[in-house]
Chains A and B, each alone.
Chain A
């Protein structure tokens, strides 16, 4: 079995309104050096197979078809045997 750790990032060229709104909070807090706040997604799950290739294929499909929207997001993941 593998533990999959997936990081999904919105493309740099696409506005992240959430990051922008949260950064206003940083300004109000008086933090002067904070900029370019981006809020991405980190997702963890198990993949119940002993074959790494199968695991990679399944995680890729999960990411491409559901977890990420390939039009605006990129994803990367690691698999750790558990």
Chain B
């Protein structure tokens, strides 16, 4: 812990965010860290150690997912924070906002099936050294739900090569026993990509919702492993 103090997480609230309260709840009650909401019009990050862009449908996802939220006043601070090495974690719509903001490479397009897909999927950890994953038992696949209509990650070949070379692909969709095959991919994303990290290793986006599988009351807790790993890796 930071000089005996609990780390402080900030959950950004955009108009249309709808996973902000779930994320807040998990961080405070399950992970046991300090957490505050950060309204999108704020121009300060309130001395938070970690910034979370939560899931939802910011600005109605009009134009493109995350395209308008990316210009919310707080995003200037989030981008500065990220560029100075601050930890930024985008979940679902948060991932889409990070892509639009240029903090992560690539784009998100409509699911191949054209359906909004809401179900549990399995994730294989492809980068076991990131601050978000180090220390998680890598043999197991993580069972975490997705809920999105536009999670079909796409990037050009050059970008994909870079992602691979720099171990920036953190999560891939897989079967329950860890096989990365097309059938395990719920949205058609290129190379089964479910989550990526920036080159510096401090900004991550993922489509699945770890906050929805963190409380044992819900019958699954694999999502909490990511939050716990993050706290252990950067604060302990």
Question: Which of A's residues lie within 8 Å of B, judged by CB?
Answer: 17-18, 21-22, 24-25, 28-29, 39
**CB atoms of A25 and B71 under 8 A apart:** yes
Residue pair B73, A18 in contact (C-beta under 8 Å): no
Asked whether, in the complex, the Cβ of A25 is within 8 Å of the Cβ of B68, the reply is: yes
Interface pick from B57-65, B116-124, B130-138, B149-157? B57-65
What string of 1s and 0s marks CB contacts (under 8 Å) between B48-86 and chain A? 000000000001101100011011110000000000000
Report the minimum CB–CB distance from A56 to chain B (whole Å): 30
Instruction: Give 14 A-B contacts (CB < 8 Å), ordered by A residue.
Output: A17-B60, A17-B62, A21-B59, A21-B60, A21-B62, A21-B68, A25-B59, A25-B67, A25-B68, A25-B70, A28-B71, A28-B72, A29-B71, A39-B62
Query: Chain A nearest CB: distance from B66 CB in Å?
Result: 11
Chain B nearest Cβ from A58, distance in angstroms: 25
Query: Are B63 and A39 in contact, CB atoms less than 8 angstroms apart?
Result: yes
Contacts of A25 in B (CB 8 A): 59, 63, 67-68, 70-71
CA distance A25 to B59 in the complex (A): 9
